[in-house]
Structure 1
Amino acid sequence: MSDAPTPVPAAAVELTALVNEGLGNSCYLVDLGDGSALVVDPPRDLRAVRAAAEKAGLRIRFAADTHLHADFLSGAVQLAHDDGAAVLASTAGRREFDHHGLGDGDQVDLGGLTVTALETPGHTDEHLSFVLADGGRAAGVFTGGSLIVGSAARTDLLGADRTAELARAQFRSLQRLSALPADTAVWPTHGAGSFCSAPPGAARTSTIGAELATNPLLGIDDEDRFVEQLLGSLGSYPPYFLRLAELNRRGPGVLDAASAGQLAELPVSAVQRLRADGAWVIDARPVGDYARAHIPGAVSIPLRAQFATWLGWLVPADVAIVIVRNPDQDLTELVWQALTIGVDRLAGELACGIQAWSAAGHPTAGTALVRPGRIDPGHRVLDIRQEPEYAAGHLPGAVHVELGALVHGATELPNAPTVVMCGHGERAAGAASLLERAGHRDLAVLDGGPGDWAAATGHSLVTGP
């Protein structure tokens, strides 16, 4: 699993941060001191939450959501169903399931500890932060997508017409949070690797005092300049972000945890029928295996911590999905990553993998892997990393198109011999597979990144957009 527990001391509060490295988020398990627990911003995949609670001998009695999440489905409804947990969330969110609606200043007695809701709009317009207090003393604040370490979360997820308005609200929210005592712990949900961050940083937790000293946005006292700074840092984000908030408002469907991590095994004939009906084949094998032989038209998304992000970014929301994997790859992890971002349309996996496809006499395709020092000078170099990555250093003459833009933009690129590159090769393989689906030929994937190319050739990278 990608979630790693991290003990986070704060006064006398026993708190564990559960970090999902792939989505770049943290949820928090708080020991309430009486054998029960509060979970803040739980994901739909509750395996790490339950493991941490079981290890600590805790029963989950409360689940709190700071906002209507756009990047993952909340596990609060599941916890209410399975554990009888009371769900704490903003009244302004108009959620369509049973919850304890909170407004600004509302307090909830957790049995010794209390949480106080602070309205902190900006990332979303119904956003709450939760101040956790022990005996009247603020121990920490769950800031969700408001104040994050070194920055603030993005404000453009409700549409371009709301972005500047929400950025101004974010300014006021950060000013409000920064007025808390300096030793108050800051426990954000979004952090490094999250496309909700603007921009991402390395650390995941902090204190109000540390943020006042180091967060450049808290050093801006002019609202117009704050808005300019925040909006200037916004990059692209996956299209599924536009769907999940509404699903979270309605309440994600309750899952049977015993069967949720399973997939039907499909014979080759069934995969053929599904493909004919418009299903996409997702090849989750490592890049080398995909490059050697894959089903023509399959999209390469290697199973790793970031699998869910790219599955949701590259695959249309209305198509069935067939998985191809190696037998040693964790099917349960793959399925839970998909479910966490609301991808419930996995039709099954190809039984016995690519070997079954070949054994049935069906053709396979291959993609060349190129070493960093062996790029043919006659080939176009296509760099598909995010804009900040490209600007930090790229090959001279490299064409830049972000991977997410290739979903609809692959047909617009001239069909020419191309080496596709990213930081290591996984995203580049995904880009090459999209180009292949669009009819491009003579494709290769760089086995490495720009640093490897510079080291192999002795040439310098180019910086800037």
Structure 2
Amino acid sequence: MEYRTNREPCALPPAPPGGQIVEDIVGFAEDHLIPLVDEGLGNSAYLVDLGDGRALAVDAGRDLRALDAAARRRRLTVAYAADTHLHADFLSGAVQLAHDAGATVLASAAGQRAFPHRALGDGDEVDLGGLRLRALATPGHTDEHLSFLLLDEGQELGVFTGGSLIVDSAARTDLLGAERTEELARAQYRSLHRLAMLPEATAVWPTHGAGSFCSAPPGTERTSTIGAQKQTNPLLAAPDEDTFVRRLVASLGSYPAYFARLTEHNRRGPAILTGTPPLPALDAGQVKALIADGGQVVDVRPVAEFAAGHIPGALSIQLREQFATWLGWLLPDTTPLVFVVGDGQDLAEVVWQAYKIGYERLSGHLADGMPAWLEAGHPRATTAFVTADRVPARPYLDVRQETEYAAGHVPGALHLELGDLARHTADAPAGVVVACGHGERAMTAASLLERAGHTDVTVLDGGPADYAAAHGLRLDTVDAGTADGGAR
């Protein structure tokens, strides 16, 4: 499972002196706040124990397995499901929580959601039964973005900041198009400075964190305090609005193609699910027929197994934490998908990673895997997968993100981000060596190249440092500005 229940972030970084107030906030977080981290998407959802058997869920995703398990352990019923904004990187679980637990959905009135919810505007408050939740309009990441300030008898405990103030940064402002990026960056400036006016001991509980393509710098901290952010966040340290905008816009890298679809999907509301959707077992003949009818094979096995033998034309996306990101970046959600899985791999994990980003045309999986395909007499393809000391002297293609490439790359390397490669396969030279940080993305890239007709593609088992060490080279670097989320 890619989700984890994370208790450590509740041990907030030091806040300015505040005596009992600080102790109360830290104690509340330790006793009542359960962060649920999706490592693959780089996001945090939160489950708040309201102290009376009920709970508040904030920015819960459609894959509710971890949240449901945490609620069961504490014998909680989710009474409220709050969304800070119309998410672009995952489908919200709020509608499902309303169905399953009778939760009241809390969301911005400006989002015009097409399902039952309590529509909130700036300053509106919700009585949670002792605690109160106050909506703060904080546009920038999206137009209708709200932050939710949690209060106990008027005392600010913490603020769920979604995609406004995040640890040492702010979320991206280009999701509504390049023509609105600067406008929204200026709105983000005002939103961050509004939040910075909260008491310094107030906890900051963002949704987007390190690894999120909604833009967060690399790092391990997923929560903070207002006081700590005023000291360490370079955007809050900007001397004026223009500098803030330049810094934020300069940090924006690429993001997955599926982001363009999910905002509207979340406005309408995802379909209700009655359990883990099925992934039927298909024999080799059925898989071959699906391919002939326009279906796509996605091979989720470890890359070494894919290299040793795979269905011709299959796309390699190893089942790992980042599986959903690359599925959503490289394939349309309208293509019927059939999966090849390896021994011990979890079919339910494949399904949930696909469904949480709106990929529901899952035709099935190849029963008994590649052995069944070969026993049926169908052809297989192979891909060279070699360590750095065995890489042939050929053109070197680096498919990592721009910031990774800038931090250190093989001299003379051709650079094409994996997310852009499908549109530029003709630009890759013949006999190319493909590399990333470890090999997973490079194998995905190789499968794209092979599907486009390239032959004699080699994948580096390792990264640029391994290649440089094996060939007596020093890595080159370039100034690429602020990191935008790190290795994926």
Distance in 2 separating the partners of 1:201 and 1:114: 31
Residue 60 in 1 paired to residue 75 in 2? no
Q: Deviations over 1:119-155 (max 9, x none)?
A: 0000000000000011210000000000000100000
1:285 is matched with 301
Residue 362 in 1 paired to residue 373 in 2? no
The one of 196, 204, 212 equivalent to 1:178 is: 196
Distance in 1 separating the partners of 2:201 and 2:309: 56
- The offset of 1:318, in angstroms, is 1.9
Distance in 2 separating the partners of 1:411 and 1:87: 48
Change (3 A) 1:76 1:143: same
1:441 is matched with 455
Distance in 2 separating the partners of 1:408 and 1:318: 18
The one of 315, 319, 323 equivalent to 2:339 is: 323
1:409 is matched with 424
Deviates more, 1:222-231 or 1:86-95: 222-231
Distance in 2 separating the partners of 1:459 and 1:163: 40
Q: Deviations over 1:91-139 (max 9, x none)?
A: 0000000000000000000001111000000000000000001121000
- The offset of 1:454, in angstroms, is 2.9
2:19 is matched with none
- The offset of 1:452, in angstroms, is 1.8
Q: Deviations over 1:6-54 (max 9, x none)?
A: 2326344310100000000000000101111000000000000001111
| Contact 1:44-1:72 within 8 A present in 2 as well | yes
Distance in 2 separating the partners of 1:199 and 1:20: 16
2:4 is matched with 4
Q: Deviations over 1:262-311 (max 9, x none)?
A: 30011111111111111110000000000000000100000000000001
Distance in 2 separating the partners of 1:67 and 1:350: 38
| Higher RCO by CA contacts (8 Å cutoff, separation 6 or greater) | 2
| Contact 1:266-1:349 within 8 A present in 2 as well | yes
Distance in 1 separating the partners of 2:295 and 2:134: 47
Secondary structure (helix, strand or coil) at the match of 1:373 reads helix
Secondary structure (helix, strand or coil) at the match of 1:217 reads coil
Distance in 2 separating the partners of 1:198 and 1:139: 24
Q: Superposed, which structure 2 residues align to 1:34-53 within 5 Å? A: 34-53=52-71
Q: Superposed, which structure 2 residues align to 1:188-227 within 5 Å? A: 188-227=206-245
- The offset of 1:451, in angstroms, is 1.9
2:20 is matched with none
Distance in 2 separating the partners of 1:457 and 1:367: 22
The amino acid that maps onto 1:396 is: P
2:173 is matched with 155
1:382 is matched with 397
Secondary structure (helix, strand or coil) at the match of 1:310 reads helix
| Contact 1:41-1:64 within 8 A present in 2 as well | yes
TM-score, normalized by length of structure 1?
A: 0.97
When the two chains are superposed, the root-mean-square deviation of aligned CA atoms in Å is 1.1
| Contact 2:209-2:216 within 8 A present in 1 as well | no
Distance in 1 separating the partners of 2:469 and 2:126: 57
1:395 is matched with 410
1:31 is matched with 49
1:124 is matched with 142
Q: Deviations over 1:215-253 (max 9, x none)?
A: 000001311111111000000000100000100000000
Distance in 2 separating the partners of 1:172 and 1:221: 13
The amino acid that maps onto 1:428 is: A
The one of 444, 463, 471 equivalent to 1:457 is: 471
Distance in 2 separating the partners of 1:441 and 1:396: 24
| Structure 1 unpaired stretches of 5+ | none
- The offset of 1:327, in angstroms, is 2.9
Distance in 2 separating the partners of 1:199 and 1:33: 34
What is the number of equivalent residue pairs in this alignment?
Answer: 461
| Contact 1:198-1:234 within 8 A present in 2 as well | no
| Contact 1:150-1:201 within 8 A present in 2 as well | no
1:342 is matched with 358
Residue 140 in 1 paired to residue 158 in 2? yes
Distance in 2 separating the partners of 1:407 and 1:66: 33
Distance in 1 separating the partners of 2:2 and 2:205: 19
| Contact 1:393-1:461 within 8 A present in 2 as well | yes
Distance in 1 separating the partners of 2:369 and 2:451: 20
1:234 is matched with 252
| Contact 1:381-1:418 within 8 A present in 2 as well | yes
The one of 29, 34, 37 equivalent to 1:19 is: 37
2:15 is matched with none
Deviates more, 1:190-199 or 1:26-35: 190-199
Secondary structure (helix, strand or coil) at the match of 2:235 reads helix
- The offset of 1:411, in angstroms, is 2.8
| Contact 2:208-2:216 within 8 A present in 1 as well | no
Secondary structure (helix, strand or coil) at the match of 1:143 reads strand
Report % sequence identity: 63
| Contact 2:81-2:105 within 8 A present in 1 as well | yes
The amino acid that maps onto 1:456 is: A
Secondary structure (helix, strand or coil) at the match of 1:410 reads helix
- The offset of 1:447, in angstroms, is 0.2
Deviates more, 1:402-411 or 1:284-293: 402-411
| Contact 1:301-1:311 within 8 A present in 2 as well | yes
Distance in 2 separating the partners of 1:11 and 1:275: 55
- The offset of 1:199, in angstroms, is 3.7
The amino acid that maps onto 1:121 is: P
- The offset of 1:178, in angstroms, is 0.5
| Structure 2 unpaired stretches of 5+ | 12-24, 481-488
| Contact 2:37-2:45 within 8 A present in 1 as well | yes
Q: Deviations over 1:290-348 (max 9, x none)?
A: 00000001000000000000011111232111100113101111110110000001110
